[in-house]
């Protein structure tokens, strides 16, 4: 499969007249269309709701687009709750899924009326000292062991810090029931970035069976099951994208097989997708500013790992397109690097690309989720702007680039930096 950017060289040349590289660019049209596909794929479930994982792309303009498409927000921190409130999310439109949670985070979540998703059984008593146990509540489940698909280990829940054991889920539900909770939710996340249509249906079946057991043993009303994230995207050109309609149908079959015979056909399905919702609809635009010829061939960009950490942190693959050279032969091998004083500051290693000349613009694909969000200021590097490519083809600045004044703003040296611009 060929990976094509959603932006052309001509468009980028116009953009850089106003916004210097590097910058993250988002495709509004693609975001909206994808949100509608997801909702359509799960339209068989009348209570279906997607709660976008704010941590993936914490930008209020992006959240506003999703809100207009009927999407909720999934928050994991105080500031994400604040951002969601500012955009206009209210009450059950917010899911609060956190861990090692500070008191003030729970206080704000309770104030906003968010659905609380407890990550640990001890959080029940902790929360009750802060606010009244709400009538609708959720607990995160960790089944332990290894999670396998077709005998392939996808992840190891037993090593994850998240969630309650099955015994704790039963104890927690009974405890919450005693404290006034009436409607219960189950949440679980067992594997990350799966490019297989089998993942969500298999996860769903596990959670549906767990829901039946919990209902039988505790007598509580299971109101919703949150399948969380894990539906991945094809970062590499040889991968096929997930078919969200096939995934939705697989979940429906598991629902009909497990829940309906138990009289649990009122259970709503929630999802918490960040990567699937946004990653393909964002990219990092950068310019080649240096080349180096030693033991290897290097191309140096004006972006670095401070703009996109995933390749340095995980060794992740992000496809690269050299704008204007899409049809040229990829007959040159490069390490594509940034300027951090770290040897892992590389967007690509031994990557076959067209010949890159100084001044060429490159698109680093699939940065719409966990791209800008993971940025940092090591080496005093400043985080870039975020730009929205709107449906009509115009652009909108949705986050300005940082300046040195931003970097120094948290110091108080009696005016030493007051003239820094």
Q: What is the pLDDT of residue 413?
A: 73
The C-alpha angle 148, 150, 155, rounded to 5 degrees, equals 20
Beta bridge partners of 386: 24, 399
pLDDT number for residue 155: 55
Nearest CA to 305 out of 322, 284, 289 is that of 284
Nearest 5°: the CA angle 310, 314, 316 is 65
Domains of the chain with CATH codes:
27-279 (3.20.20.10), 280-408 (2.40.37.10)
Beta strand pairing status for 72-75 and 94-97?
Answer: parallel
Query: Catalytic residue among 75, 138, 330, 341, which?
Result: 341
Record the pTM. Answer: 0.94
Separation between Cα atoms, residue 249 and residue 384, nearest integer Å: 40
Active site includes 283? no
Mean pLDDT by 10 residues, the chain (421 residues): 92 98 98 98 98 98 98 98 98 97 98 98 97 98 74 64 94 98 95 87 95 98 96 94 97 98 98 97 98 98 97 95 97 97 96 98 98 96 97 98 94 67 60
């Amino acid at each position: 499969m060929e990976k094509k950017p959603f932006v052309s060289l001509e468009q980028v040349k116009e953009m850089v007249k106003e916004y210097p590289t590097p910058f993250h660019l988002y495709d509004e049209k693609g975001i909206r269309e994808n949100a509608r596909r997801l909702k359509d794929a799960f339209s068989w479930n009348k209570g279906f709701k997607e709660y976008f994982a704010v941590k993936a792309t914490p930008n209020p303009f992006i959240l506003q687009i999703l809100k207009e498409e009927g999407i909720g927000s999934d928050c994991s921190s105080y500031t994400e709750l604040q951002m969601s409130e500012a955009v206009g999310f209210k009450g059950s439109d917010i899911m609060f899924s956190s861990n090692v949670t500070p008191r003030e985070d729970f206080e704000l979540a309770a104030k906003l009326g968010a659905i609380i998703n407890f990550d640990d059984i001890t959080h029940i008593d902790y929360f009750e000292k802060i606010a009244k146990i709400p009538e609708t509540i959720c607990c995160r489940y960790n089944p332990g062991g290894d999670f396998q698909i077709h005998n392939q280990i996808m992840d190891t829940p037993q090593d994850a810090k998240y969630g309650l054991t099955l015994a704790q889920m039963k104890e927690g539900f009974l405890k919450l029931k005693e404290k006034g909770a009436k409607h219960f939710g189950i949440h679980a996340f067992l594997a990350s970035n799966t490019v297989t249509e089998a993942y969500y249906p298999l996860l769903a079946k596990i959670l549906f069976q767990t829901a039946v057991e919990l209902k039988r043993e505790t007598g509580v009303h299971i109101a919703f099951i949150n399948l969380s994230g894990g539906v991945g995207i094809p970062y590499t050109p040889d991968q096929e994208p997930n078919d969200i309609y096939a995934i939705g149908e697989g979940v429906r079959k598991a629902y009909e097989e497990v829940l309906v015979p138990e009289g649990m056909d009122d259970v709503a399905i929630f999802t918490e997708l960040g990567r699937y919702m946004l990653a393909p609809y964002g990219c990092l635009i950068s310019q080649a500013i240096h080349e180096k010829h030693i033991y290897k061939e290097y191309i140096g960009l004006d972006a670095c790992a401070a703009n996109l950490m995933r390749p340095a942190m995980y060794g992740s693959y992000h496809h690269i397109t050299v704008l204007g050279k899409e049809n040229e032969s990829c007959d040159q091998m490069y390490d594509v690097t940034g300027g951090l004083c770290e040897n892992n500051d590389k967007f690509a290693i031994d990557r076959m690309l067209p010949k890159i000349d100084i001044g060429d613009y490159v698109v680093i694909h699939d940065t719409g989720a966990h791209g800008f969000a993971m940025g940092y200021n090591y080496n005093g590097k400043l985080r870039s702007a975020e730009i929205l490519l709107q449906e009509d083809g115009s652009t909108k600045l949705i986050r300005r680039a940082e300046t040195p004044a931003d970097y120094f703003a948290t110091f108080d040296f009696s005016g030493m930096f007051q003239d820094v611009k």
